[in-house]
Amino acid sequence: MATQQKIKTAEKVSTTVADTGALNNQKNAAAAAYKAAEYKPSTESQAYKKALENMQNYNSQYKPQIDSTLSSLQKGYNLNTDPNFKQYQETYTRNAQQASRDIIARQAALNGGAASSMAQRQANQAYQNTMQGLYDLVPQLSQQWTSNQQALLSAYQNQDQLDYEKYTDNRTFYQNMYLAAQDRDMQLYDTELQKMYNTIQMYQTDIETAMSYEEWANEFNRQVEQDGINNAIAWAQQELDEAKLKEEQRQFNQNFAEEQRQYNATLAEQQRQYNSDLAEQQRQYNASQAEQKRQYDQNYNLQLRELARQAAENEESIILTDKEVEDTLRKLMFEKQGATRDKETHEIIENGTGAYINETARYNNAMKQLDEWLLDGKIDEETYKHKVINVNNVFDRS
């Protein structure tokens, strides 16, 4: 009964396959294809791998700007190249020239149009006082320039950091995409191998069925033995190929990790060197600022001592009190006690008598007295300005 069933099965198989030789040929062809099958990366994984290789090194596009700004900070502030200083210089020069001309014109008006050495000295002093304000601005302009340069450097460094973070994000993205593509390629490769193996098994099953009857028993047994050897060889070759592929992947991961470690170490050393250079530049800048302030204070004290010496040599340089100034001006502006001012005639009229003194003469006497005091050093510039305003207010000449 068993023999008859085998014969019926062989006859059923023979209806689709001509003979066992054809089955063996097809099975051997499938086994050869299975043995020769190799892993081939897809176009997608190759593209990701190439993109990853192209991103091995980070190139900063802000390095020239950062180096240039650091170089400017190291050289320090230069007022000759500062456009802000030039604008201030033009403004202060115009103001100083105008102040000088105003004093000369006022003195000429008081002296009947004739210039005097006193007027020239006052004009020169006014010019120098106005221009001194320009150089008082230099420390402020220097600090403002330094702050602007440091802010610009910080902006470049922040943008460079953002670009580097974007670079690392992109690199991580392509690395992940490459590994994912490799996994898909391996899955497809394993699926294809499984299909080929299933085909071999199908042919093997058909052969075993076709040769199950007794007259093919010996050939069947021999073929099974041979197939066992072939399968062992094929499996050994497959295991060798898989081991080789895993070793290549392990070597790639190891090399990539070492390159990343070296890059991180280089970047850390560059950052340390940059921080060290920046700290040294800041220290040098602070020392320079301190030395400039010391020299400025020294010159200022020397000027103060020189002014004190000159004042001591001039016996007439006695500073008037505010009360002495006010009393003298009142006598010049109101020569009679109890006089009142007529707003319509702009004259000072004595109460009860109708006598008056010309207002222009009173105004000129008061202004002349203030100019003499300022020239002789009996009042300072601030007191002079304040009293001039008071005199103008009295005579409505503001």
Tell me the helix, strand and coil percentages in the chain, rounded to 5.
80, 0, 15
Distance CA(395)–CA(360), nearest Å, equals 9
Q: Is 162 exposed, middle or buried (0-12, 13-18, 19+ CB in 10 A)?
A: exposed
Residue with token string 């604008």: 87
At 63-88, the pLDDT tens digits run 898 888 888 888 888 888 888 888 88
Rounded Cα distance between 286 and 15, Å, is 101
Question: Does pLDDT of 55 surpass 80?
Answer: no
Question: What's the order of all strands across the beta sheet hosting 347-349?
Answer: 340-342, 347-349, 356-357
Question: Which amino acid, 205?
Answer: T
DSSP-derived 3-state class of residue 357: strand
Residue 337 has pLDDT above 60, yes or no: no
Q: What is the pLDDT at residue 328?
A: 92
Residues 213 and 201: beta-carbon distance below 8 Å: no
| 234-243, 316-325, 338-347, range with greatest mean pLDDT | 234-243
If you write DSSP's letter for every residue of 184-244 in order, what string do you get? HHHHHHHHHHHHHHHHHHHHHHHHHHHT-SGGGHHHHHHHHHHHHHHHHHHHHHHHHHHHH
Q: Looking at 159-168, 301-310, 351-360, which range is the least confident one?
A: 301-310
Helices (H) and strands (E) in the chain, counts: 11, 3
Q: Mean pLDDT check: name the lowest of 1-10, 147-156, 292-301.
A: 1-10
Inter-residue long-range contacts of 196-204, CB under 8 Å, 24+ positions, other chains counted:
196/30, 196/33, 196/34, 196/37, 197/34, 199/30, 200/27, 200/30, 200/31, 200/34, 203/23, 203/26, 203/27, 203/30, 204/27
CA angle 303, 306, 307 (to 5 degrees): 85
d(CA 372, CA 118): 9
- The dihedral built from the CA positions of residue 306, 310, 312 and 316, taken in this order, carries a sign that is negative
336 vs 103, residue with greater confidence = 103
Beta bridge partners of 349: 340, 356
Q: Are 341 and 348 in contact (CB under 8 A)?
A: yes
Q: Please report the pLDDT score of residue 154 as a whole number.
A: 92
3-class DSSP state of 88: helix
Report how far apart the first and last C-alpha atoms of the chain are (Å, whole number).
141
Find out whether 206 and 21 touch, Cβ atoms under 8 Å. no
% pLDDT > 90, the chain: 13
Distance CA 198, CA 233 (A): 17
